[in-house]
Amino acid sequence: MSAAETTAKTVKERAEEALRDDFLRQSVRYTTDRLRSARLQAARDQGNWEAWRERGRQIRSHTIAHLDYYLNQFAENARANGAHVHFAETAEEAVRIVQAIAQRKGARTVAKSKSMVTEELHLNKALEDIGVQPIETDLGEYIIQLAGETPSHIIIPSIHKTRRQVADLLSREAGEELPTDTPSLAGFARRRLREVFLTADIGMTGCNFAIAETGSIVVFENEGNARMVSTVPKTQITLMGMERIIPTWADLEVMATLLPRSATGQRLTVYMSGISGPRREGDGDGPEELHIVIVDNGRSLQLGDPEFQELLNCIRCGACLNVCPVYRHIGGHAYGSTYSGPIGAVLKPAFKKNILEWDDVADASSLCGACAEACPVKIPLHDMLVYLRRRKVEAGRAKPPEALGMKAYAAVMGDAGRFRRALKLGRLGMKPLARDGFIRARIGPLAGWTRHRVFPVLAGQSFRERWAHLERELERELAPAAPGVSERLEEALRRRAEKREGGVERHGG
């Protein structure tokens, strides 16, 4: 089932569809397994990984805290290099800017290298609407375009496709049965895309990092297609999220250490292109005209928000997807947005001001924290998911039965006496449902649980009910203090006091 065909409205429903797709689950599991072990290996080989992550976080946080300054610096320098810089507040505005350039150039085809921002803007459709044909030249994106789908992973767009499915798509395009081995399939795409590079009127790229100090764009890629689209066509359009900025080339060293390792476990991607302006006199190649479109589209909502500003630190490496146990089982399309996985689950609602437009995506996480642990710039994604849930509740958008349940929870757990009485009542209520100590019935709020598990019955006597008796027994059993135990406890108390004083001093000084 492709994302385009589904009628499912919620993440929960789409996830249930995905869970029935064995091809998808097999493909996603296979590739994410490979990527996550490659990342760990690359981090070990690099050494001092935690220090690199911390440096990465600092660079990104500093940049985002001064984003207005660095954006200005970038735009000024890029203009001085001869580029046209456009700012787009909304997706619609960004689309209009690109359409206008394409129309002015009388473009018929646009050769695109991979760009998630263009996916976010649904730019391909917008170009088709004005009679311009966009052609994806990244192999994964090309496959997805042939399938009429959207990417299901930030860096591996066709991660959910098996080799067989890819061979079928490419064979259909070739008009002949292609062998399913990688060289044959890649060979076909290479021949086909070569024509695209040579004939396209416009080359379009994304941007991994924009260097403020020189107004340059940096693109990481493995296939050479981004370099082709940024050298052959006469006009180049680069789209970038407004947060892609880093201050200097020295900062790029840190980012270039973190990004490929976190994404695919590579020490560096096969190509890393730095582009500073259009073709100059004496240059052998390059576009005559370079347009840079800087897109906001909800990003500035995070600026100044202490709970979400760090979201803009993201460098779109996809590491959080590769370690996410939820993504592993449901793939990317179930998230129902351009960005999937843990980062997508946060970005999707965070980019929308109106809470009414939020769906249940923030609930699609067990909050295991694997994402934050893998993140090369240490974004606390699992915490952000909790903040999103809280904002929804505070806005009164929670489901009424759940809100009622939580009221009851607070009433019971707010007082130990009520908790004790609730345990007694619960035991009585569970009695008719239990068989050999477990409940299997699929009723009420338990149904979701018992579809996959048995539920235990409450203990005959809770710990608190047992305590008085147990305490007397323990009094009789109490051994003499083991050697050194009292000293260890005293020592721990002393260290704690020291730490507290140290903390106060630091606070004061």
Partner 1 sequence: MKVSLFITCLCDAFYPRVGEAMVRLLARHGIRTDFPSAQTCCGQPAFNSGYWEEARAAARTLLDAFEDSDFVVSPSGSCVHMLHRYRELFRDDPAALSKAERLCEKTYEFARFFVEVLGIADLGAKFPHRVTYHPSCHGSRLLGVRDEPMELLKRVEGLELVPLPYAEDCCGFGGTFSVKMSEISGAMVGEKADHVLETEAEVLTGSDMGCLMNIGGHLRHRGRPLRVMHLAELLYEGVSGA
Distance CA 58, CA 46 (A): 19
Q: Which is nearer to partner 1, 267 or 472 (CB)?
A: 472
Q: Which is nearer to partner 1, 281 or 479 (CB)?
A: 479
Helix-then-strand count for the chain, H and E: 22, 13
| Shortest reach from residue 491's CB to partner 1, in Å | 9
Residue the block writes with tokens 């993201």: 314
Q: Which is nearer to partner 1, 104 or 440 (CB)?
A: 440
B/e letters for 295-317, b = 16+ CB within 10 Å, e = fewer, are: bbbbbebbbeeebbebbbbbbbb
Task: State how far the alpha carbon of 78 is from the alpha carbons of 20, 73, 132, 211, 244, in Å.
Answer: 49, 8, 27, 9, 14
- Which strands form 271-275's sheet, in the order they lie side by side? 245-246, 209-211, 216-221, 271-275
| Shortest reach from residue 34's CB to partner 1, in Å | 14
| Shortest reach from residue 364's CB to partner 1, in Å | 6
Burial of 431 (0-12, 13-18, 19+ CB in 10 A): exposed
Question: Which token pair is 321?
Answer: 């997807």
Q: Which is nearer to partner 1, 433 or 457 (CB)?
A: 457
| Shortest reach from residue 380's CB to partner 1, in Å | 10
Query: Would you give the end-to-end CA distance of the chain in angstroms?
Result: 61
| Shortest reach from residue 461's CB to partner 1, in Å | 7
User: 301: which DSSP letter?
Assistant: G
Q: Which is nearer to partner 1, 146 or 386 (CB)?
A: 386
Question: Which token pair is 264?
Answer: 């695919």
Q: What values do phi and psi take at 175, rounded to 5?
A: 75, 15
Q: Which is nearer to partner 1, 304 or 483 (CB)?
A: 483
Distance CA 332, CA 157 (A): 9
Distance CA 480, CA 374 (A): 46
| Shortest reach from residue 7's CB to partner 1, in Å | 17
Q: Which is nearer to partner 1, 146 or 423 (CB)?
A: 423
Burial of 128 (0-12, 13-18, 19+ CB in 10 A): exposed
| Shortest reach from residue 150's CB to partner 1, in Å | 21
Q: Evaluate whether 204 touches 186 at the Cβ level (below 8 Å).
A: no
Residue the block writes with tokens 């295991």: 368
| Shortest reach from residue 331's CB to partner 1, in Å | 11
Q: What values do phi and psi take at 338, rounded to 5?
A: -60, -45
Q: Which is nearer to partner 1, 304 or 460 (CB)?
A: 460
| Shortest reach from residue 9's CB to partner 1, in Å | 15
Q: Which is nearer to partner 1, 182 or 461 (CB)?
A: 461
The shares of helix, strand and coil residues in the chain, as percent rounded to the nearest 5, are 55, 10, 35
Strand partners, 136: 112
Q: What values do phi and psi take at 13, rounded to 5?
A: -70, -45
Q: Which is nearer to partner 1, 327 or 339 (CB)?
A: 327
Q: Which is nearer to partner 1, 80 or 459 (CB)?
A: 459
| Shortest reach from residue 310's CB to partner 1, in Å | 14
| Shortest reach from residue 112's CB to partner 1, in Å | 33
